[in-house]
């Protein structure tokens, strides 16, 4: 018997009705054989926000090599790792797949550096925090749209379990043991990353798979782009006692096996003490040799310049309820930036009674205008953000 079979997300679970709850019921085609979580998976898969992940930084910006990990590849790694763990333990693999494919939809251009910059802007202008897990929930709840059978653009309307997995997924923490919470809270109550445990065991698996994924791949990419040299990695491998070669495959397989072996329903999802120590050493090694490297610091300064300039260019055109007209007056100066922003934001303005999706902003309030710009920037790919910056500074 698979150890977690009795607590999996299925109809026998007392949490089931809440897990599959949506804001409104989805219209089902005759003969649709998909489960609720399979429908969530395909709704994300067909979205433009998912496609844009292939042009968003994971750790290394604009790599020359096609083999350096981008955000979409990271998402696929998390999906694969979480599937292996969930399948071994007897959990619902359809739910882990749906959470995994959606978990990083809230990431801005330029990875965690871009996230930090947008947080600085949002704190300065609005007094709120920007973090990708919260932005991801906002994206799937309010911003990402799909065209329905009537040709209307409607919100994704995902299940509670998948939405919870998105905002609860923070993998940059060192929880010794993971267990799901019992209460089905309002997910908008989150005020910071990792504030609450996930609602399902499956979401807990994705949270750990996220950490396992980047712990392995960041190593190989850092060697490929020569931020890490092989001699230093070899010395570190000897310290860790991981055999002749430490690479993506060896790190991931070691951690997956250890997690499955040491996890129980009673004791929670956890690694052995030996592997917790390994994770701590890996994390410290990456911080010292990768994440704080001079190469990354130089790109971070560039990212700040790009995102700040895009924000301020649009923000300085605020004119209350006349803002759209003011933007159009300046469109000859910044044609792509302003045209793109107007096309996007008109769908979400509260005064627009035509669109059927959720309305988010009223330009009667400058803080709501500022928030709309931040949300718009957060959806950009790296290349698009740079193109917009180049348009701003070009003559």
pLDDT of residue 372: 98
pLDDT of residue 256: 96
The fold of 5-105+144-291 is: Hypothetical protein af1432 (1.10.3210)
pLDDT band at 289 (very low <50, low <70, confident <90, very high): confident
pLDDT of residue 232: 78
Nearest C-alpha neighbor of 375 from the set 164, 154, 105 = 105
Query: Does 387 have pLDDT greater than 90?
Result: yes
pLDDT band at 291 (very low <50, low <70, confident <90, very high): confident
Biggest CA-to-CA distance, the chain: 68
Query: Does 239 have pLDDT greater than 70?
Result: no
pLDDT of residue 73: 93
pLDDT of residue 244: 59
Nearest C-alpha neighbor of 23 from the set 186, 146, 170, 153 = 186
Domain ranges of the chain: 5-105+144-291, 294-393
Q: pLDDT of 330-339, one tens digit each?
A: 999 999 999 9
154 bridge partner residues: 146
Task: Kindly state the DSSP code that residue 239 receives in the 8-state scheme.
Answer: H
Angle in degrees, 0-180, between the axes of helices 294-315 and 111-125, rounded to the nearest 10: 40
Nearest C-alpha neighbor of 11 from the set 49, 39, 37, 48 = 37
What is the distance between the alpha carbons of residues 255 and 283, in angstroms, rounded to a whole number? 14
Residue 1: how many other CB atoms lie within 10 Å: 6
Sign, CA torsion 191/19/40/176: positive
Query: Does 174 have pLDDT greater than 80?
Result: no
Q: pLDDT of 113-123, one tens digit each?
A: 999 999 999 99
CB-neighbour burial class of residue 43 (10 A; exposed 0-12, middle 13-18, buried 19+): buried
Q: pLDDT of 70-120, one tens digit each?
A: 999 999 999 999 999 999 999 999 999 999 999 999 999 999 999 999 999
Whole-number percent of the chain with pLDDT over 90:
72
What is the distance between the alpha carbons of residues 110 and 126, in angstroms, rounded to a whole number? 22
Higher-pLDDT residue of 393, 286: 393
Query: Averaged over 297-320, what is the pLDDT?
Result: 96
Query: Averaged over 40-69, what is the pLDDT?
Result: 90
pLDDT of residue 1: 67
Q: pLDDT of 189-201, one tens digit each?
A: 999 999 999 999 9
3-state secondary structure of 3: coil
What is the distance between the alpha carbons of residues 26 and 149, in angstroms, rounded to a whole number? 12
100, 78 contact by CB (below 8 A) = yes
Query: Does 224 have pLDDT greater than 90?
Result: no
pTM: 0.95
Length of the chain counted residue by residue: 395
Query: Does 238 have pLDDT greater than 80?
Result: no
pLDDT of residue 274: 92
Whole-number percent of the chain with pLDDT over 70:
96
Among 77-86, 144-153, 187-196, 300-309, which stretch is predicted with the lowest mean pLDDT? 144-153
Query: Does 180 have pLDDT greater than 60?
Result: yes
What is the distance between the alpha carbons of residues 163 and 142, in angstroms, rounded to a whole number? 12
Nearest C-alpha neighbor of 285 from the set 249, 237, 225, 244 = 237
* Pair of tokens at residue 333: 């100066």
pLDDT band at 31 (very low <50, low <70, confident <90, very high): confident
What is the distance between the alpha carbons of residues 346 and 337, in angstroms, rounded to a whole number? 14
């Amino acid at each position: 018997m698979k150890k977690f079979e009795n607590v999996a997300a299925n109809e026998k679970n007392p949490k089931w009705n809440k897990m599959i709850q949506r804001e409104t019921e989805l219209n089902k085609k005759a003969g649709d054989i998909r489960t609720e979580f399979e429908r969530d998976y395909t709704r994300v898969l067909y979205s433009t926000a998912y496609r844009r992940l292939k042009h968003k930084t994971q750790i290394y910006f604009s790599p020359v090599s096609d083999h350096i990990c981008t955000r979409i590849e990271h998402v696929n790694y998390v999906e694969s790792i979480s599937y292996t763990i969930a399948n071994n333990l007897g959990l619902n693999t359809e739910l882990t797949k749906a959470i995994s494919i959606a978990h990083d939809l809230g990431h801005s251009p330029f990875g965690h550096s871009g996230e930090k910059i947008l947080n600085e802007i949002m704190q300065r202008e609005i007094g709120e925090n920007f973090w990708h897990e919260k932005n991801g929930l906002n994206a799937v709840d309010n911003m990402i749209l799909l065209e329905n059978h009537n040709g209307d653009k409607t919100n994704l309307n995902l299940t509670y379990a998948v939405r919870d997995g998105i905002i609860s997924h923070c993998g940059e923490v060192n929880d010794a043991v993971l267990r799901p919470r019992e209460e089905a809270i309002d997910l908008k109550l989150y005020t910071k990353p990792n504030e609450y445990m996930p609602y399902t065991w499956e979401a807990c698996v994705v949270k750990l798979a996220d950490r396992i994924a980047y712990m392995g791949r960041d190593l190989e990419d850092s060697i490929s782009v020569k931020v890490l040299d092989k001699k230093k990695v070899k010395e570190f491998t000897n310290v860790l006692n991981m055999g002749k070669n430490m690479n993506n495959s060896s790190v991931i397989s070691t951690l997956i096996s250890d997690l499955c072996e040491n996890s129980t329903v009673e004791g929670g999802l956890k690694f052995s003490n030996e592997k917790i120590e390994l994770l701590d050493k890996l994390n410290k090694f990456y911080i010292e040799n990768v994440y704080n490297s001079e190469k990354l610091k130089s790109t971070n300064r560039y990212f700040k310049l790009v995102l700040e300039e895009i924000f301020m260019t649009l923000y300085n055109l605020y004119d209350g309820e006349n803002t759209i007209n003011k933007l159009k007056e300046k469109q000859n100066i910044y044609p792509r930036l302003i045209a793109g922003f107007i096309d996007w934001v008109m769908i979400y303005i509260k005064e627009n009674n035509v669109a059927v999706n959720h309305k988010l902003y009223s330009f009667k309030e400058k803080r709501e205008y500022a928030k709309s710009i931040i949300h718009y920037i957060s959806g950009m790919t790296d290349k698009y953000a740079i193109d917009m910056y180049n348009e701003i500074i070009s003559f």
